[in-house]
C-alpha cells in the first residue's frame, strides 16, 4: 500500500501509486470498452438502489460514489448484479437541473469491487456547491449535492458541519440521518461504526421487519459484509444524508469486529488465528466499496490508508485518525481496570508511532485557527469509580495514557491554542476539558472534547441515567452528559466554536422529532468547554 507524507493525494500521484488497471476501473482513471457495450443489457433493472454520495472535499476536487445494486439484499452479497463489468457515466453541474454541466466522464464498475465506483473529479472551483448524478444505460441515479473545500489560503469566516457515529440497524430507525440531511452544513464527519457486524434476528430487532436467515450469522467474509452494507445502504434516510452532503469518514471497530486491535481480534472472536487477517481484509474491502474514499485508500489486503488531513482555509484543519489499525492490544485483556503499568506504558500506542509523528507534524505546520482531531473513541479520562480509586475503560485512550499525554503535550509545545477533539463510540453526548495530567489537580487545560452520541446504537435513550450521574461526579473535567440518540452540529468562526447536541426522544419507531438539548462553546484562545 503506497504511503505518502502529503495529506492529500494528487491526480498524478494516485495514478502512479496504484498500478493495476483492474483496480483503477472503479476510480475513474480507466474506462472499459467492453463494459460500455454491456452496460445497457446489464442494468435492465434500476441499479441505483443504494443511492449516491460524495466525500473528502478538496478546493478543486471531490470524490463521487455509487455502488450498482438492482437487489441490495441478494443473499450472495452481489447486489443482484451480473459477474461482469458495467460502464457508468457521471456528470457534475453547477445547477440542480444540469443545464450547466462542467465535468463528465465514464467509469467502469467491476464485480471485483462490488460494482462500486469512486470517480475523482478535478478542476472544480473552491468553496462551491455542485450537483452530480450517474447513468447506466437508460437509468439515471438520484441527484446528489456536494461542496468543494475553500482554497487552502482562504480567509474563511465560518464553517458549519456535523459529526455522527454508531448506527446499528437493528437498534432503531435512522431518523437522525434524515434530520441531518436537512441541515444547512458544509460536510458530515462520520467517526465510525457505520455498520455493525452482528447478525440480525428474524424480526429485525427494534425495526420489527421480517429478515431472512442469511442475516443471522455475524459478518466474517466478503459476501456477508457486502450483504450487511446492502441492508444499511438501502435505508432511505442514510441515502438521503449521503445525497445531501459530502462525507469525511473513518472507521472504528464494528466495521470489522467489536474492539479489534490491529492483528488482535476480540477474545470471543469467531475469527481467531489464521482466520483473522483474511476477515479484516474482507471488511476493509467492503468498507471501501461502500464509502466515498479516494484511490489512495484502496485496501491492500488487510491494510487501508485511512488517516489523512483535510484543510478548510485558514480556519479549520481536520486531522482524521485511525485508532484501530496500528494500535497495541488493549491493556489487561480489555474491559475495565484500574490504571497500572500496562495502561501507562510509554511503549503502548493507540495509533502507531508513524501516525503520531504525522499528527504532531501537522500541529507544527498548520496555520489554521482551529486544530481538529476527528477520532473514534473518547480521549478525556472517564473514571467509573466515584471514590478516590479509579476504574477506567481500557479500549479508549484511557488504556493508552502515555500516547494521549504525548499528543496533548505535543500540542501544547507547538502552541496549538485551539485543540478540539471530536469522538464517538460511547453512545452518549459529552463535553469535556482535556488535561495534560488527570492525576494533577493543577494540570492545565490543553484542549476541548465533544463526544457525540449514536444514531441508533443502544436504542431509545434517556436524558440522564445512573451512569451519567456517576461520570459527572467522578470526572470534574466532564461538563455535560446526555444519553439520547442524535448527532452534534458545529458552527465555527474565528472567534468561537459552538457545538449543538441534537437529540431525539426515540428511535424504536420512525419520524422522531429533533431538538437542541444543549449548546457548548469554546472561545478562541481559551481552551476548555463552557455552556452557551
Which of 436, 426, 310 has its CA nearest to residue 373?
A: 310
Q: Does residue 3 have a pLDDT over 90? A: no
Residues in a beta bridge with 139: 136
Asked whether the beta carbons of 460 and 412 are under 8 A apart, the reply is no
Residue with cell 457548548: 520
Mean pLDDT of the chain: 93
Residue-level pLDDT at 218: 98
Here the contacts of 382-387 (C-beta below 8 Å, separation 24 or greater) are: 382/471, 382/475, 382/478, 383/471, 383/474, 383/475, 384/336, 384/470, 384/471, 384/474, 385/474, 386/470, 386/473, 386/474
In whole angstroms, give the CA distance from residue 209 to residue 374: 34
Per-residue pLDDT tens for 512-523?
999 999 999 999
Residue with cell 491492500: 300
Length of the chain: 532
Q: Does residue 16 have a pLDDT over 50? A: no
Mean pLDDT computed over 443-457: 98
Q: Grid coordinates representing 291?
A: 464509502
In whole angstroms, give the CA distance from residue 96 to residue 227: 32
Distances (CA, A) of 65 to 169, 363, 389, 439: 22, 31, 50, 47
Radius of gyration of the chain (CA): 22
Per-residue pLDDT tens for 371-412?
999 999 999 999 999 999 999 999 999 999 999 999 999 999
Per-residue pLDDT tens for 18-71?
333 444 556 655 455 445 445 444 446 999 999 999 999 999 999 999 999 999
Coil, strand, or helix at residue 314?
coil
Residue-level pLDDT at 40: 46
Per-residue pLDDT tens for 254-312?
999 999 999 999 999 999 999 999 999 999 999 999 999 999 999 999 999 999 999 99
In whole angstroms, give the CA distance from residue 179 to residue 11: 35
Residue-level pLDDT at 441: 87
Per-residue pLDDT tens for 100-137?
999 999 999 999 999 999 999 999 999 999 999 999 99
In whole angstroms, give the CA distance from residue 404 to residue 449: 13
520 class by beta-carbon count within 10 Å (0-12 exposed, 13-18 middle, 19+ buried): buried
Mention every residue, 6+ apart, whose C-beta is less than 8 A from residue 397: 350, 377, 378, 379, 380, 381, 403, 404
Q: Grid coordinates representing 55?
A: 466525500
| pTM of this structure | 0.94
Mean pLDDT computed over 234-248: 98
Per-residue pLDDT tens for 190-232?
999 999 999 999 999 999 999 999 999 999 999 999 999 999 9
Q: Does residue 486 have a pLDDT over 80? A: yes
Q: Grid coordinates representing 486?
A: 442524535
Amino acid at each position: 500500500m503506497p504511503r505518502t507524507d502529503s495529506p492529500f493525494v494528487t491526480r498524478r500521484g494516485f495514478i502512479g501509486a496504484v498500478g493495476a488497471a483492474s483496480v483503477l476501473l472503479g476510480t475513474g482513471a480507466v474506462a472499459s470498452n467492453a463494459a460500455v457495450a454491456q452496460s445497457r443489457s446489464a442494468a435492465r433493472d434500476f441499479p441505483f438502489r443504494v443511492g449516491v454520495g460524495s466525500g473528502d472535499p478538496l478546493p478543486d476536487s471531490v470524490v463521487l460514489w455509487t455502488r450498482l445494486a438492482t437487489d441490495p439484499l441478494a443473499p450472495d452479497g452481489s447486489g443482484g448484479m451480473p459477474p461482469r463489468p458495467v460502464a457508468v457515466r457521471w456528470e457534475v453541474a453547477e445547477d440542480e437541473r444540469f443545464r450547466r454541466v462542467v465535468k463528465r466522464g465514464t467509469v467502469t464498475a467491476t464485480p471485483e469491487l462490488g460494482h462500486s465506483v469512486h470517480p475523482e473529479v478535478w478542476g472544480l472551483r473552491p468553496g462551491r456547491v455542485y450537483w452530480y448524478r450517474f447513468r447506466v444505460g437508460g437509468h439515471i441515479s438520484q441527484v446528489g449535492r456536494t461542496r468543494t473545500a475553500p482554497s487552502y489560503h482562504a480567509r474563511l469566516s465560518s464553517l458549519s458541519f456535523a459529526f455522527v457515529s454508531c448506527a446499528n440497524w437493528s437498534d432503531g430507525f435512522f431518523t437522525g440521518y434524515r434530520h441531518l440531511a436537512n441541515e444547512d452544513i458544509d460536510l458530515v464527519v462520520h467517526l465510525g461504526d457505520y455498520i455493525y457486524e452482528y447478525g440480525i434476528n428474524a424480526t429485525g430487532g427494534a425495526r420489527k421487519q421480517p429478515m431472512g436467515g442469511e442475516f443471522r450469522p455475524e459478518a466474517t467474509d466478503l459476501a456477508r459484509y457486502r450483504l450487511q452494507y446492502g441492508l444499511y445502504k438501502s435505508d432511505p434516510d442514510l441515502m438521503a444524508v449521503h445525497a445531501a452532503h459530502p462525507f469525511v469518514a473513518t472507521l472504528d471497530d464494528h466495521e470489522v469486529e467489536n474492539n479489534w486491535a490491529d492483528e488482535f481480534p476480540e477474545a470471543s472472536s469467531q475469527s481467531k488465528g489464521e482466520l483473522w487477517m483474511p476477515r479484516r481484509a474482507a471488511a476493509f474491502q467492503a468498507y471501501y466499496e461502500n464509502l466515498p474514499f479516494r484511490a489512495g485508500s484502496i485496501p491492500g489486503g488487510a491494510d487501508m490508508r485511512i488517516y489523512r488531513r483535510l484543510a478548510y482555509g485558514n480556519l479549520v484543519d481536520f486531522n482524521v485518525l485511525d485508532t484501530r489499525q496500528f494500535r497495541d492490544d488493549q491493556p489487561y485483556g480489555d474491559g475495565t481496570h484500574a490504571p497500572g503499568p500496562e495502561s501507562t506504558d510509554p511503549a503502548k500506542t493507540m495509533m502507531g508511532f508513524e501516525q503520531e509523528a504525522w499528527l504532531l507534524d501537522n500541529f507544527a505546520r498548520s496555520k489554521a485557527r482551529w486544530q481538529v482531531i476527528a477520532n473514534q473513541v473518547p480521549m478525556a479520562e472517564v473514571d467509573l469509580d466515584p471514590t478516590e480509586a479509579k476504574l477506567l475503560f481500557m479500549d479508549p485512550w484511557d488504556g493508552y495514557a502515555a500516547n494521549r499525554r504525548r499528543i496533548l503535550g505535543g500540542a501544547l509545545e507547538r502552541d496549538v491554542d485551539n485543540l478540539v477533539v471530536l469522538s464517538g463510540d460511547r453512545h452518549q453526548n459529552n463535553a469535556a476539558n482535556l488535561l495534560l495530567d488527570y492525576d494533577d489537580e493543577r494540570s492545565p487545560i490543553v484542549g476541548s472534547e465533544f463526544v457525540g452520541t449514536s444514531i441508533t446504537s443502544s436504542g431509545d435513550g434517556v436524558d440522564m441515567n445512573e451512569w451519567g450521574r456517576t461520570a459527572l461526579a467522578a470526572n470534574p473535567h466532564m461538563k455535560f452528559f446526555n444519553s439520547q440518540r442524535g448527532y452534534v452540529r458545529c458552527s465555527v468562526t474565528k472567534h468561537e466554536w459552538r457545538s449543538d447536541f441534537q437529540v431525539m426522544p426515540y428511535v424504536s419507531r420512525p419520524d422522531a422529532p429533533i431538538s437542541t438539548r444543549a449548546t457548548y462553546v469554546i472561545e478562541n484562545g481559551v481552551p476548555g468547554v463552557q455552556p452557551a
